[in-house]
């Protein structure tokens, strides 16, 4: 099996937040940042796998503070974990305000990307060479993220389809909803 260094596919991408990215409140649309993240995850995953890649799942996207027009958004990405045909790309988003030099960490998240061939079949990706403690820690975190995301899918599939209307009503009793 072929192995590749994490540094071979590490990616840093910076983009200026222009006025057309803003929502009615004057802040940058969350969807713009999501789209950038997807693009950077693709760059990183395709650099590692040398294949066309598709987004399979997204974990941990949350916005700690708004991104503003005029900010420079920097996304640092690396392949943290590899399975057989998928890679977990970890990304850290920072906002830099040129006027005062303040840098804010706005979010970190994980995209699972799958490698596909020209016919759309999944293909095996190279293994990862872990060269330091950080890369080893991220690999273990990636393995854990994959495990909890699999468990979450199984819970959603089994629990919520077998639940009766009565159980659902009881579950919602203390919630802010009216059931007709």
Ligand X SMILES: CC(C)(COP(=O)(O)OP(=O)(O)OC[C@H]1O[C@@H](n2cnc3c(N)ncnc32)[C@H](O)[C@@H]1OP(=O)(O)O)[C@@H](O)C(=O)NCCC(=O)NCCS
Residue where the block lists tokens 């066309």: 52
- We find the least distance from the C-beta atom of residue 177 to ligand X, in angstroms, to be 28
Name which of 86 and 107 has its Cβ closer to ligand X. Answer: 86
- CB nearer ligand X, residue 85 or residue 108: 85
Sheet holding 86-97, edge to edge: 11-16, 72-82, 86-97, 102-116, 52-59
* Closest chain position to ligand X (CB): 83
Min CB(77)–ligand X separation in Å: 17
Q: Which residues of 112-140 are buried (b: 16+ CB within 10 A; e: fewer)?
A: bbbbbeeeeeebebbebebeeeebeebbe
Which string of DSSP letters, residue by residue, matches 62-83? --SS--BTT-EEEEEEEEEEE-
Q: Which is nearer to ligand X, 72 or 123 (CB)?
A: 123
The smaller minimum CB distance to ligand X, of residues 106 and 149, is found at 149
Report, in Å, the least distance between residue 14 CB and ligand X. Answer: 25
User: Considering beta carbons, is residue 41 or 114 the nearer one to ligand X?
Assistant: 114
* Neighbour-count burial of 180, counting CB atoms closer than 10 A to its CB (0-12 exposed, 13-18 middle, 19+ buried): exposed
Beta carbon of residue 88, minimum distance to ligand X (angstroms, whole number) = 9
Of 79 and 114, nearer to ligand X (C-beta) is 114
Report the candidate in 37, 27, 20, 19 with the shortest Cα–Cα distance to residue 107: 37
Residues of this chain that interact with ligand X (CB under 6 A) are: 54-57, 83-86, 112, 114, 122, 149, 153
Selection from 140, 133, 146 nearest residue 56 by Cα:
146
Q: How far is the CB of 128 from ligand X (least distance, A)?
A: 12
Q: Nearest distance from residue 140's CB to ligand X, in Å?
A: 16
């Amino acid at each position: 099996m072929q192995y590749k260094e994490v540094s071979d596919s590490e990616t840093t991408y910076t983009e200026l937040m222009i006025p057309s990215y803003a929502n009615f409140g004057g802040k940058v649309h969350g969807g713009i940042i999501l789209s950038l993240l997807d693009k950077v995850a693709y760059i990183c995953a395709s650099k590692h796998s040398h294949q066309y890649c598709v987004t399979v799942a997204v974990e941990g996207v949350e916005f700690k503070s708004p991104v503003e027009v005029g900010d420079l958004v920097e996304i640092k990405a690396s392949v943290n974990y590899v399975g057989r045909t998928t890679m977990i790309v970890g990304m850290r988003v920072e906002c830099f305000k040129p006027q005062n030099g303040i840098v804010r960490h706005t979010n970190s998240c994980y995209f699972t990307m799958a490698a596909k061939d020209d016919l759309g079949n999944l293909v095996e990706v190279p293994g990862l060479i872990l060269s330091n403690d950080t890369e080893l820690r991220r690999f273990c975190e990636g393995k854990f993220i994959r495990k909890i995301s699999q468990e979450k899918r199984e819970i959603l599939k089994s629990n919520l389809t077998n639940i009766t209307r009565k159980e659902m009503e009881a579950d919602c009793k203390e919630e802010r909803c009216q059931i007709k």
